[in-house]
């Protein structure tokens, strides 16, 4: 407390007009001035220190939440990735649909009610062309070709069709 009074005394000596004005104040005005000074100090401390700290903490919390969501997504999809990666290495399930490439694609297309425009054999693969097919039906066909028929999709060229939700398969190349 003595250091505070000494500091205040030094400041008042440097500003004689301020010192004269403070001496003219009544005791009640001095109490109000001290209270306003304390409120001003608290407000400055809040604006300079507390508010930036709280803002930084909330930003870091949002970043942590985003990272936790990303980690959760990675954990959920790791199994899918590993199963796909093991399938690529040759651990594909045995085909439940048998026959030649043409027979397998024809059966899958008829089950899914897809009208195949053209089938063109090429060496050890088959090129399939479909003029218009709902996109979801195409996805089901691709999945069934790999999972049920044991086929490998080598190439796929798809464009949008005239109808919303439909696509045109310009080239779907599959092989055993």
C-alpha–C-alpha distance, residues 4 and 8, integer Å: 6
Q: Across the beta sheet with 118-122, what order do the strands follow?
A: 118-122, 125-134, 166-175, 152-160
Structure confidence by residue, pLDDT tens digits, 70-89: 888 888 877 766 666 565 44
**pLDDT given at position 103:** 85
Structure confidence by residue, pLDDT tens digits, 27-50: 999 899 999 999 999 999 999 999
**pLDDT given at position 148:** 82
The neighbouring-strand residues paired with 78 are none
The token duo for 141 is: 């066909």
**DSSP string computed for 86-125:** HHHTT-PPPPSS-S-HHHHHHHHHHHTT----EEEEETTE
- Whole-model pTM: value is 0.46
For the chain, list residues with pLDDT below 70.
1-4, 80-96
């Amino acid at each position: 407390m003595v250091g505070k009074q000494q500091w205040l005394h030094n400041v008042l000596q440097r500003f004689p007009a301020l010192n004269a004005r403070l001496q003219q104040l009544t005791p009640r005005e001095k109490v109000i001035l001290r209270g306003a000074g304390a409120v001003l100090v608290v407000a400055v401390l809040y604006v300079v220190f507390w508010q930036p700290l709280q803002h930084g903490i909330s930003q870091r919390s949002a970043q942590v939440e985003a990272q936790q969501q990303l980690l959760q997504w990675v954990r959920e999809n790791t199994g899918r990735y590993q199963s796909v990666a093991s399938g690529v290495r040759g651990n594909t399930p045995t085909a439940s649909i048998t026959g030649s490439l043409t027979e397998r694609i024809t059966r899958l297309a008829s089950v899914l009610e897809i009208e195949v425009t053209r089938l063109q054999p090429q060496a050890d693969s088959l090129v399939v062309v479909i003029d218009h097919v709902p996109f979801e039906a195409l996805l089901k066909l691709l999945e069934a070709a790999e999972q049920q028929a044991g086929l490998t999709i080598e190439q796929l060229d798809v464009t949008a069709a005239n109808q919303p939700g439909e696509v045109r398969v310009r080239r779907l190349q599959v092989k055993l």
